[in-house]
Amino acid sequence: MGLVAAMLAAFATQVLITRALGSAAFGVVTVATQLAFVGGAATRFGMDMAAVRRVAIDLGRGERARVRAVVARAAVVAGAVSLAAGAVVFGASDWLARAFTTAPGDGRSAFRAAAVALPFVALAQVYLGATRGLKVMRHTLYIYWLGQPAAWIALMVLGWVWARTVGVSVLAYAGSWIVATAAAVWVWRRLTAGFGGLPPEPGETGDLLRYGAPRAPAALFSQLLFWTDLFVLAHFASSSEVGVYAAAVRAAQVILLFLISVNYVFSPFVADLYARRQRDRLDALFKSLTRWMLAATLPIFIVFAVAPGTVLRLFGEGFGAGRGALLILMAGQLINVATGSVGFILIMVGRTAIDLAVNAGAVALSVATAAMLVPRYGMEGAAVAGALTLAVSNLCRLALVWRYLRIQPFTREYLRLAVPVIAGAVAALLAHRVAGGGSWQVDLGSTALAGTLAYGAALVAAGLPSRERMAALRLLSLIRRGN
């Protein structure tokens, strides 16, 4: 439920920019901010995942007095690498503006602001990763998913009093990450204040670097999987078309809501259970979480598949042109969700080199297919490249998880989900046909309400095993009583 609120905050940020600045400016802002986000993923040098893994393992061993020193080393590594990368981006801002935008002046200021954001994107994630290693998830929600988008909105609105420009909008993005970093550092220190201060083990820095060396490019490639198609499109298309496609990409990523939630919750348990050789418990948890995650995601997929043009109207007039791209992207994201947390499992059990190889191959596939399809098919070609890359890379990870751990997420219980999917799709289609002639707000609300209610009723009636149905009914009873 917290991530639903976070999704709405992020969505509100994007809608605010599109309605205030237009699709062309939104395209430039998206390219610049995603460069900072993707760059931060790479230049934190895998120290966010190292922090999750090492803190979870040390706590499982009863050695919590050492975790502060380990995380401090990880932060130094991430800070040094990301500061250097930020300086490179700042110096290359003119070239980046010419290569990826059709507005060099706006692009230059946007990429310089993105360079300021980059090191703070990296450091915030390292400290939040450390808190997740403690199996405390709420701070990632409050600081990253809720706080950072809210701070961006507030700083952007204040900045627009001075100048309503692309550069100010991206500079506000940098400011929001500075606030998030300060909050993450404060929370980590407060949570571990009584842990003690043992020094790191001999060779600790070397161990972190060996873990992070393959993880750094793997993290870069992992983020590029979601954005390479956009960057290729930005090279060939106008800023306005890029803005429409960016809205479709953002809308499609809503389907990742529960996958992201499960990944953050699941990852420290993977490291802990694997280190203690409890493979059967890990397998059972993987199966249960993946099926529930898919079940929670399917209502979103139904609504977006039935009314893609209406969903894109949230961003403003003219964004309906991205409906075809949205449908294609949704297909790729559905495969991403259905295969579960396979990428995080490989990372948490130390298979970072394998993860790097998969991500590198996937990015190469994405660039090749996008470069081939975008000049002829535009944003639909970019969407095909993105969806194909997600499907292939996740199926490869699924096979690797089975090879190395002999676990996989699928059971016969998945077949039960067909009944609520059919019920939800029929109800959503009927509502869309009835309300489609009116305002888009009524159309979207009616389609979402009808599809979700029908899906939920059918899920409880026929989509769950008896033990899970009773648990769901007990939960609903508690919610109704306000407990």
Tell me the average pLDDT across 309-335: 89
Q: Is pLDDT of 117 > 90?
A: yes
Rounded mean pLDDT, 162-187: 93
Quote the pLDDT of residue 292. 85
- For the segment 241-272, what is each residue's pLDDT rounded down to a tens digit? 888 898 898 888 888 777 777 777 787 788 78
Q: What would the mean pLDDT of 100-121 be, rounded to a whole number?
A: 83
Q: Tell me: the pLDDT tens digits for 220-245?
A: 777 777 778 888 998 888 878 888 89
Dihedral sign computed on CA atoms, order 368, 223, 235, 251: positive
- The pLDDT of residue 483 is above 60: no
More confident residue, 384 or 32: 384
Burial 362-388 (b: 16+ CB within 10 A, else e): bbebbbebbeebbeeebbbbbbbbbbb
* CA quadruple 310, 312, 317, 323: dihedral sign: negative
207 contact partners, CB below 8 Å, separation of at least 6: none
Q: CA of 82: how far to CAs of 65, 86, 340, in Å?
A: 28, 6, 30
Residue 273 clears pLDDT 80, i.e. is over it: yes
Extract the tokens encoding 164.
């309503």
Per-residue pLDDT at 479: 65
* 122, 128, 139, 147, 193 from 187: Cα distances, Å: 16, 9, 8, 13, 10
Q: Which residue has the tokens 């706080």?
A: 147
Q: Which of 35-44, 196-205, 347-356, 389-398 has maximum average pLDDT?
A: 389-398
CB within 8 A of 202, min separation 6: which ones?
none
Q: What is the mean pLDDT of residues 401-428?
A: 91
Residue 449 in this model has a pLDDT that exceeds 90: yes
Q: Which of 37-51, 207-221, 349-363, 397-411 has the lowest mean pLDDT?
A: 207-221
Please tell me the predicted confidence (pLDDT) of residue 234. Answer: 85
Q: Is the pLDDT of residue 478 over 80?
A: no
